[in-house]
């Protein structure tokens, strides 16, 4: 039996604040906005944004639940191009992290602090 990723639903504290971030970020990684708050990837899976219940706690990196979403790209140059293009849209971007010569990754944070890893990862040598 085999399963593939179909979709992810992300709860955000404020759709009006988060939507512009996702509108700028996801197209850089092969997503197309197909309707309000729904982004379809070229590989056929989708990300949907929904409003969290009012008064619920904010995302916490070490809270139970999702820690981060990791996307692997073709090479380290692509990681840097995504960084440059996102910065050109006016968003803050962190520096890349290099892991032992086998990975180049950047952890982008949405307005709620949800982490999206964009990286090029090879097998450790």
What's the token pair of residue 16?
A: 């009006």
Global confidence as pTM: 0.87
* 24 in Cβ contact with 86 (< 8 Å): yes
pLDDT of residue 103: 87
pLDDT of residue 124: 55
pLDDT of residue 123: 65
> Could you tell me the mean pLDDT of each successive run of 10 residues in the chain, 125 residues long?
86 94 97 96 94 89 86 93 96 90 90 93 65
Architecture of the 7-53+67-121 domain: Roll (3.10)
Cβ atoms < 10 Å from Cβ of 120: 18
Measured CA to CA, the distance from residue 13 to residue 27 in angstroms comes to 22
pLDDT of residue 2: 82
pLDDT of residue 45: 94
Per the document, the length of the chain is 125
The domain ranges of the chain are 7-53+67-121
């Amino acid at each position: 039996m085999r399963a593939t990723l179909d979709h992810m639903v992300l709860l955000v504290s404020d759709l009006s604040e988060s939507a512009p971030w996702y509108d700028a970020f996801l197209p850089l990684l092969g997503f197309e906005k197909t309707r309000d708050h729904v982004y379809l990837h070229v590989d056929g899976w989708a990300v949907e944004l929904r409003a969290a219940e009012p008064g619920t706690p904010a995302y916490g990196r070490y809270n139970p639940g999702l820690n981060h979403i990791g996307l692997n790209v073709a090479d380290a140059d692509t990681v840097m191009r995504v960084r440059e293009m996102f910065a050109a849209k006016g968003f803050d971007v962190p520096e890349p992290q290099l892991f032992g010569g086998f990975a180049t990754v950047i952890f982008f944070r949405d307005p709620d602090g949800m982490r999206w890893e964009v990286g090029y990862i090879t097998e450790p040598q």
